[in-house]
Amino acid sequence: MKTNIKRMSGCVATANAIKLANVDVICSYPIRPYTGIMSELARMVADGELDAEFVLGEGEHGQLSVVYGASAAGARAFTGSSGVGVTYAMEVYSPISGERLPLQMAIADRTLDPPGDFGSEHTDALCCRDQGWIQGWASTPQEALDLSLMYYRIGEDPRVLLPQYACQDGYFVSHILGEVDVPSQEQVDAFLPPYKNHHVLDTSNPMIIGPQMEPEMGPGTQYQRHMAVEGVYKVFEEVHEEFADIFGRKYDPWLEEYMTDGAETVIFIQGGHAETAKNVAKHLRNLGEKVGVVRLRTLRPFPTRQVRETLSKFKVVGVVDNSVNFGISCGAGVLLTEVRAALYNSDKKVDTVGFVAGLGGSMISQDEFYKMYSIIKNVAETGKNEKQSYWSPFEL
């Protein structure tokens, strides 16, 4: 298969995906580190490489309002943000998913204020996890490109019709270069057909979208939204299979396993810091340690069955949360809570230990991962779990 390998950042890789997807409307507002996506798309539009309407919003709430209307009018729409910009638009997320409008939003994570630093922290995107959007994390620039294409295809499927958060770690994926196989336009056109909206606004036949409802209409509306998200699982798997057939890159829709054969302990994680965890696991394997890594690729819908079946193979799972969730159960984060819920009905008891790391944009170092593996190895050997969770680096 002919390849077109280029070195680019996650931001540029995402911009290439949006260009190949032939989007109609783009709305931007600058906030680092996602801004690199819009800078590249603006250049593409200015140079005539991409025929799209490029709108500068007056803020993040305005951004989402613009693409909300554009998608309702039948356009394939794209926007994005980071950090406090993501939370500023919070009011608009639920109406977009409630209207079943499959626009896409890139989120290049950064921590909220305070401290508001530039690197990765997943708190901003995790604030949005229950808004009825599809959501997952890329761990490399290649995956950032591929994720955007697959998410449009999944979200626009008539059986789904849901918006998508295509997330990547700020700086660690958004700004660090990696090798990316950029597909041809012919390949993408075969995979992603032109978008056909299920209801298009028509000036000759006006309609109101997003109106207030009577209380008795609420339960049925929310149940329909619940069923829409529950119906995504089959489409996810079909689209990933077709993607592999056309592009030659095979992804599991839900989980990536790394060196898990024969492992007794694993690190469970999502996002770009999984690459560092893999390097540490490889070194420990060379030393004879029975360790591995399981990376969550899709957070919403959460793959409960797949997580239960996969993690039940191990004695101890160290769950790494790259976010802050003050006061949450067990003192860690969303991933630990989700994993424990998924394992609750497992026939096999699996010990879990939470780790909160990489906050404020700091990297999760190899040394931190070595210490995490040491802790979960001790739990596996002794059967004693002294702490529910550890905040790194202070408690390791």
Residues of the chain whose pLDDT is less than 50? none
Q: What DSSP string runs through 271-307?
A: STTHHHHHHHHHHHHHTT--EEEEEE-EEES--HHHH
Contact 316, 353 (CB under 8 A): yes
pLDDT at 198: 74
pLDDT confidence of residue 361: 84
Q: Would you say 99 and 70 are in contact if contact means Cβ atoms under 8 Å apart?
A: no
**Both structure tokens of 162:** 């849901």
| Delimiting residues of CATH 3.40.50.970 domain(s) in the chain | 5-247
pLDDT for 339? 97
pTM: 0.96
pLDDT of residue 45: 98
Per-residue pLDDT tens digits for 209-258: 877 888 998 899 899 999 999 999 999 999 999 999 999 999 999 999 99
User: Percentage of the chain with pLDDT > 90?
Assistant: 89
CATH 3.40.50.920 maps onto the chain at 255-391
- What is the architecture of the domain spanning 5-247? 3-Layer(aba) Sandwich (3.40)
How confident is the model at residue 2, as a pLDDT? 60
Return the sign of the alpha-carbon dihedral for residues 305, 310, 316, 320.
negative
CATH number of 255-391: 3.40.50.920
pLDDT for res 1: 54
CA atoms of 175 and 169, how far apart (whole Å): 9
